[in-house]
Amino acid sequence: MMNNDSIKFRFILLLFLVFCLTSVAVLGQNNKPIALNNEEINEPTKKIGFADFLMIYHSYSKTKLEDDRLKKEGQEFQARIDADRDKITELEKKINSGILSEKEKDNLNKEMEELKTKVNQDIQEFKLKIENERKEAIDKIIEELRVKVSDYGKEKGYAMIVDRNELIFSDTTLDLTQEMVEYVNKNNNQ
């Protein structure tokens, strides 16, 4: 006859074996690998990061090239306007010189007013043109950068990259801004 301790031991051993066999059966039905430290064995860890998109935009070499192009265009336009304004100043000097007849003054006044009107129209047209060009350039660059940020995220295994300005709090070690500035400028011809 068996004593109580022996019966208890065998019962506990039987329960342990049932538990182990059940666990093996359940794990065998699950095709996913067992997770260790919240990371699955054959699946890469998805990361989350953030970046200052505005800083990336301003640090992007194509942004600088576009800004330089628009600035040069503005300087060339300003030179033409300055030349027209110099002509207006010369006409005013002639009109006020006191040596012209009334008919000559009237003709010069008419020429000067036409030139002033032309200058004002040119300024308005240029402002509109440059605003449209700038908007188109910004839109194009932003779209390029979105693609590059997306490519960066895929290459580096990120599940999500958010703009720094949308964050309330984040660990600064998640900041990808500088890495992304280097990345977008590395192959900017693509």
Q: What is the CATH number of the domain that holds 147?
A: 3.30.910.20
Residue 33 sits in the same domain as residue 97: no
3-class SS of residue 98 = coil
Task: Tell how strand 47-51 and strand 158-163 pair up.
Answer: parallel
Q: How far apart are the first and last CA of the chain?
A: 85
Residue 94 sits in the same domain as residue 153: yes
Higher pLDDT, 37 or 140: 140
Whole-number pLDDT of residue 135:
95
| Most confident option among 8-12, 41-45, 129-133 | 129-133
Residue 72 sits in the same domain as residue 90: yes
Residue 89 sits in the same domain as residue 15: no
**CA-atom Rg of the chain in angstroms:** 37
Residue 167 sits in the same domain as residue 141: yes
27-40 pLDDT, tens digit per residue, is 555 444 444 444 44
**Are 176 and 51 a contacting pair, CB within 8 Å?**
yes
Q: Which residues constitute the domain of residue 142?
A: 47-186
When divided into structural domains, the chain yields a total of: 2
Whole-number pLDDT of residue 44:
58
- Measure the CA–CA gap between 42 and 63, rounded to whole angstroms: 41
**Are 141 and 57 a contacting pair, CB within 8 Å?**
yes
**Are 62 and 189 a contacting pair, CB within 8 Å?**
no
Higher pLDDT, 157 or 22: 157
Residue 24 sits in the same domain as residue 61: no
58-116 pLDDT, tens digit per residue, is 999 999 999 999 999 999 999 999 999 999 999 999 989 888 899 999 999 999 999 99
